[in-house]
Amino acid sequence: MAAEDRRQQILEVAVQLFSQKGFRGTTTKEIAMAAGVNEAIIFRHFATKSELYTAIMDRKACSDEVQAMQSALKEAMDAGDDRQVFERLAFHMLEFHEHDDTAMRLLLYSALEGHELAEMIFRNHISKTHRQLAEYVKRRVADGAFRRIDPVVAVRGFIGMIINQVMYKKFFERCGGQPLNLTNRQAAERFADLFLASMTNHSYDHQRIRRKH
């Protein structure tokens, strides 16, 4: 097997094992056995465990769905389209977790175990998206389009709806929880409706803003 193919195989196996048994419960020996290689081969591709964890994070961050979400979010923010900003973010987050069975498990395991990967994910991805969205909310409050509210509180409330839906579908529906029976597109629309209904400043004069610009 070519070196890059072997590297990707080891990553895939590691992600699956970490998501099933956690980081403390998974050894490099188990990864090697599952990948059908000698343990030394793992350290030939990843000098340290930290390097392996970084590669896992980069693999998730560079997925097509994450790239599409970032592109769609930037486009909507640049256009100042409130509905598209929140609807697109919700839809892409729901789609990402719908098609990735390991991402949420890796995040929860790493956080519960106090693992370094949790800090890496939060610092490089979660907090970055939160800040980006909070800056947008702050801007729209300044425009007068949104009512005065702490942008961080608003962002956490909105993303909280999405994560709750992800966790409910992934973990609790199988325990007898009642599903929403909505597609990811429909759920994204409903969450954006709820959020914007609570955020909209009804005295905001769209015509005045357009004349001003």
Render pLDDT for 58-71 as a digit per residue (tens, 0 to 9).
887 777 788 888 88
Which pLDDT value is given to residue 66? 82
Render pLDDT for 103-128 as a digit per residue (tens, 0 to 9).
889 888 888 988 888 888 888 788 88
Which pLDDT value is given to residue 209? 46
First to last CA, the chain: 60
89 has a pLDDT exceeding 70: yes
Q: Give domain 3-52's CATH architecture.
A: Orthogonal Bundle (1.10)
Which pLDDT value is given to residue 210? 47
DSSP state at residue 175: G
As a whole number of angstroms, the distance between CA 210 and CA 124 comes to 36
Q: Which residues contact 65 (CB under 8 A, 6 or more apart)?
A: 92, 95, 96, 99, 100
Which pLDDT value is given to residue 82? 95
As a whole number of angstroms, the distance between CA 110 and CA 209 comes to 46
Tokens 């956690």: give the residue: 22
Which pLDDT value is given to residue 160? 95
Report the 10 Å Cβ neighbour count for 6. Answer: 16
Render pLDDT for 172-213 as a digit per residue (tens, 0 to 9).
877 776 778 899 999 999 999 999 999 988 776 554 444 444
Q: Give domain 63-212's CATH architecture.
A: Orthogonal Bundle (1.10)
Q: Which residues contact 120 (CB under 8 A, 6 or more apart)?
A: 53, 54, 57
163 has a pLDDT exceeding 90: yes
Mean pLDDT across the stretch 148-171? Answer: 94
As a whole number of angstroms, the distance between CA 187 and CA 91 comes to 8
Q: Higher pLDDT residue, 118 or 161? A: 161
As a whole number of angstroms, the distance between CA 46 and CA 35 comes to 14
Q: 3-52 and 63-212 share one CATH topology?
A: no
Question: Can you give the residue ranges of every domain in the chain?
Answer: 3-52, 63-212
Render pLDDT for 33-65 as a digit per residue (tens, 0 to 9).
999 999 999 999 998 877 888 888 788 777 778
SS3 146: strand
Q: Which residues contact 98 (CB under 8 A, 6 or more apart)?
A: 169, 184
pLDDT > 90: percent of the chain: 53
- Predicted model pTM: 0.84
